Structure 1
Amino acid sequence: MRVLLQAHLDTEKANELIRSGKMPQVMQEIVGAFKPEASYFTATGGVRTWFVVFDVQDSSQMPPLTEPLFEKLGAEVDYTPVMNADDLQKGLAQLK
């Protein structure tokens, strides 16, 4: 299933990683684990935010993917199932 994860990073933890020079490595490891279809970085609500779209085969994948966000970045995380245009068309075709 295609999922959108939104992670709001804790400012203090992120600042500490930036100051120490570790942020690029931490983000590379975290992003790589998701094998994302798409990945975007921005600011929402005044905090650093990461949006990532990726595929989940089983809900048991969620803890090992999400835990580094909590531990290393103090992130607040939301998971939302999402569809692309092809998924939507496939779903709509089933309504007939």
Structure 2
Amino acid sequence: MRVLLKASFDTERSSEMLRSGKLHQMMEALKERTHPEATYFTVDQGRRTMYLFFDMTDSADMPSIAEPLFMEMGASIDYTPVMNFDDLQKGLAKLS
């Protein structure tokens, strides 16, 4: 299932990760773990925020993806199932 992972990072902890060079390593490890379709970075409500779109094949992967972000970055995390246009078309076709 295609999933949106929204992670908002604690400013002090993420700043320390940035200064130490660990932020790049953590993002690379997350990329390797999830093989994202797309990743975006922005500021949301004054916090560094990442939007990561990827295919989650097993919900048991949720802890291994989220825990490093919780522990190292003090992140607030939301997982949301999402569809692209092709998925929407398939879903709408099932209504008929």
TM-score (norm 1): 0.94
Distance 1:2 1:77 in 2: 16
The aligned counterpart of 1:92 is 92
The aligned counterpart of 1:23 is 23
- Where structure 2 has 5 or more consecutive residues not aligned to the other structure, the ranges are none
Matches within 5 A, 1:10-89: 10-89=10-89
* Residue 31 of structure 1: how far off its partner (Å): 2.6
Residues 32-68 of structure 1: CA deviation (Å, up to 9, x unaligned): 2111011001100000000001111121111111111
TM-score (norm 2): 0.94
CA RMSD of aligned residues (A): 0.9
Runs of 4+ aligned structure 1 residues displaced above 3 Å come to none
Distance 1:32 1:46 in 2: 28
- Where structure 1 has 5 or more consecutive residues not aligned to the other structure, the ranges are none
Percent of pairs identical after alignment? 55
